[in-house]
Amino acid sequence: MSAPVDSAAVACLRRDEYVSQVATYRHEFRTWLRELDWADEWRTAAFDNVEDELVFHSTILARLYEAGWNRYGWPEDAGGFGGTEVHRAAYFEELAAAMLPVPEQHWTLEVIGPATYRYAPHLAAEYLPNYLRGAEWWGQCFSEPESGSDLAGLRCRAADDGDGGFVLNGQKIWTSQGPTATRFMVLARTGTPESRHRGLSTFLVDADTPGVTVRPIALASGRRELAEVFFDDVRIPRERAIGDVGGGWAVVMYLMQYERGMYGYAVLTTALTELGRLRAEMVVHGASPANRERFAQIYVAVVAAQARAAKTVRALAANQMVGPESSIDKLLFAKAEKDINDLVLDVRRGWMLTGVGADGDKELDTARAKWWYTRAATIMGGSAEVQRSIIADHLLGLPKEKR
């Protein structure tokens, strides 16, 4: 009988090879997942609330971090092993191929992590290792009650405290993973009220700082996925600025490429997992010819969108600014998410609508929560209407819309 392989040691020993050769990293990660004796526990875990899900996924991240696999694609001075966004894409693809859910914390990390590293490497070095190992996660505090699409009009204010730091006052809303986040990336006004996008700055604020109040928002599913965050005379030291004071818009633009492109790529890989599950359901329970045709159309659309998002991932890996092009990814992946969940609803209509959920069936509760959540796919990260305007104005050069 052969001695058990210490996979953590193997992953660490072959770091240089995995960084220089994504195919080798992918192959060995796939083998590791195939042999994983806790894969079923991870694959089949179901929850009826978001808090338990995040705690469970934090334990998954701790194990992945220890074995090294989720550290590829992240810089060495931020808890990673080096490599690029292409490593992270391969990581998401292998999870999807093994029908394993992406640990929830990755969704906010993919949005917030790259911009933090780019504009505040000292904060990334201090905190991103904890994020990668599931010991903490953050919320993105950009949107306000009257500033979602019109982000440049936001009113949350960070005033100079006369001592090198800032005093933050205002309200944010719709902060994903906000109810349990350890820290927030906050976009605030440091310029005059009329300064629009030129007068904004970004800060990292700890959730337990005096003056921060977090109120969870329950979605239609009942799950407390989002939060309102209030700041009352919250003191922020100067070194918590992410990027230049007054340079917040550059941070936002950089971050959006990840929120729409890289995040989108990961969503599309999980979409393939969901389609795989749905196909099995359709084979076992049967499906109408119309639903089979819908399945085929959605499958083709997902694969096409993934191919398009792969271009974005490669550009990000090459340190190119993707800019408005990532709005195409956002439009495509949001539609795919909605279409898949609508098909799940139609194929499993009896179960989804009249099945007995709550404490009896966490799987059903999760399927319903997913359907509800995907109603917002075309709103979060910038609404579909706004993405279409960006594409029209910046990519197609169409005449400006009359307002």
Active site residue 281: no
Based on CB atoms, which residue is closest to ligand FAD, 93 or 365? 365
Dig out the tokens for 204 from the structure.
């990292």
Residue closer to ligand FAD by CB (options 18, 142) is: 142
For every residue of 244-301, DSSP letters joined together read -TT-HHHHHHHHHHIIIIIHHHHHHHHHHHHHHHHHHHHHHH---HHHHHHHHHHHHH
Neighbours of 139 (CB within 10 A): 28
Does position 143 interact with ligand FAD (CB under 6 A)? The reply is: yes
Close Cβ partners of 52 (under 8 Å, ≥ 6 residues apart): none
| Interaction of residue 288 with ligand FAD, rule CB under 6 A | no
Applying CB under 6 A, which of residues 222, 383, 391, 392 lies at the interface with ligand FAD?
A: 383
> Cα(64)–Cα(343) distance, rounded to whole angstroms?
33
Rounded to the nearest whole angstrom, what is the least distance from the CB of residue 159 to ligand FAD in the complex? 21
What binding mask, one character per residue, do residues 159-188 give for ligand FAD by CB under 6 A, x or -?
---------------xxx------------
CA distance 221 to 61: 26
Q: How far is the CB of 348 from ligand FAD (least distance, A)?
A: 23
Catalytic residue among 259, 274, 325, 337: 259
Q: Which of 128, 242, 343, 376 binds ligand FAD (CB under 6 A)?
A: 376
Please, which residue, 67 or 234, has the CB nearer to ligand FAD? 234
Q: Is 215 helix (H, G, I), strand (E, B) or coil?
A: strand
Comparing CB distances to ligand FAD, the nearer of 7 and 202 is 202
* Helix 105-119 vs helix 121-132: crossing angle, to nearest 10: 160
- Say whether residue 380 binds ligand FAD (CB under 6 A): yes
CB atoms within 10 A of CB 360: 10
Q: Which residues are catalytic?
A: 259
Binding site for ligand FAD (CB under 6 A): 140-143, 148-149, 174-176, 226, 376, 379-383, 385-386, 389
